[in-house]
Amino acid sequence: MKTVLTDDLTLAQQVAAGNEAALEAFYARYADSLFAFIYHHLSESRLDAEDVWQDTLLAALHALPAYRGQSRLFTWLCGVARHKIVDHLRRRGRGATDVFSDVPEGQLSTLITSEALPEETVMRRATRIRVVEALGLLPEDYQTALIARYADERSVSEVAQMLGRTYKATESLLSRARTALQEALARLEERAA
Amino acid sequence: MNQDERLLEENTARLIRAASGTDARPGPQTRQRMFQILLTCVRERSSEVSFPDVVVSALGGLLMLVAIWLVGWRTGTGISLSTSPTLLIPAVWLLLNLALVPIACIVILKRRQGG
């Protein structure tokens, strides 16, 4: 029997019921990650990514009543996005095989603490997609902290101010978030194996 | 910070920068526009006229009563439906409602499928 993820399910049900505050939370939580997921799949074409992102969010909004909470909401959204990416590539006369067959080199979750990752590995499309997927599986505060600190290159003090936490608490949050990201990568690798 | 933690932080930073940098995020205007589109969809859906269960039950019950009454009248009196306006009007109303049932079914199914 599969576990039902009640937080994700509650959010999905509230959005499906027309709760605007829930829609705002849903959007803040998933919109950017979903865009990154699509953007990397479409080889960094912004215009294409915007089209597919829009289609995906609208389709997801209509299909949310069908979400049963048996996978993480972000995983479910990635599933919707995959369909839209395939449709888009088909319309463009391109096959989708290469887009979904690419897998990251080696076990990122192990390599991440054992060596400085080669630039080639970091920049590989499959690696970036997996990292986006893993980020989407993290609790919201972990995701926000990691992106603010490392993608936006804010200082720990700035992140602390942004999150309304003390410097020490933010350092500790970032440390837990890094470990959680490593664990999420491991779970995705397990699932893909 | 030990060696593992230092590597974890450095690699995490590089991976996140590559995966979720500003290039891989929608622009502020696109982001705002998309949110407005979704908000409009949600509002439109919420403003759709709902059809409470009580109303559906009452309509079904009324249709059944009219049908029973018509059949009873016809059987009891032997008068043709087409010759009496008292019977003709309820009969037309009944038939019209029955004819709309398949259309209502299609609308309900389309809404359930999110279309």
At A142-186, the pLDDT tens digits run 999 999 999 999 999 999 999 999 999 999 999 999 999 999 999
Say yes or no for a CB contact (<8 Å) between A178 and B12: yes
B27-47 pLDDT per residue, tens: 999 999 999 999 999 888 776
Judged by CB atoms closer than 8 Å, whether chains meet at B34 and A108 is answered as no
Cross-chain residue pair B15–A65, CB shorter than 8 Å: no
**pLDDT at A83 (0 to 100):** 93
Long-range contacts formed by A181-184: CB under 8 A, 24+ apart: A181/A131, A181/A134, A181/A135, A181/A138, A181/A142, A181/A146, A181/B12, A182/A109, A182/A112, A182/A113, A182/B8, A182/B12, A183/A109, A184/A133, A184/A134, A184/A135, A184/A137, A184/A138
Instruction: Look at residue A79 in the predicted model and tell me its pLDDT.
Output: 93
Q: Is the pLDDT of residue B11 over 90?
A: yes
Mean pLDDT of chain B: 82
Give the whole-angstrom CA distance, residue B10 versus residue B36.
Answer: 38
* pLDDT over 90 (residue B109): no
Specify the pLDDT at position A32.
93
| CB of B25 closer than 8 Å to CB of A32 | yes
Do B25 and A32 lie within an 8 Å CB cutoff? yes
Q: What is the pLDDT, as a whole number, of residue A80?
A: 95
In 3D space, the residue among A79, A71, A185, A57 whose CA is nearest the CA of residue A132 turns out to be A185
Question: Is 60 exceeded by the pLDDT of residue B114?
Answer: no
Q: Flag residues of chain A having pLDDT under 50.
A: 1
**Which residue in the set B16, B25, B42 is minimally distant from A150, CB to CB?**
B16
ipTM of the assembly? 0.83
Q: Do B7 and A112 touch (CB under 8 A)?
A: yes
Q: Is A128 on the interface with B (CB under 8 A)?
A: yes
Q: Of chain A residues 52-111, which have a CB less than 8 A from chain B? A: 53-54, 57-59, 61-63, 65, 108, 111
pLDDT digits (tens, 9 = 90+) for B49-76: 666 778 878 888 888 888 888 788 777 7
pLDDT of residue B115: 45
A111, A147, A178 ranked by CB distance to B9: nearest: A178
**pLDDT for the residue A3:** 61
Residue B61 has a pLDDT of 86
Q: Do B35 and A147 touch (CB under 8 A)?
A: no
User: Quick one: pLDDT at residue A95?
Assistant: 64
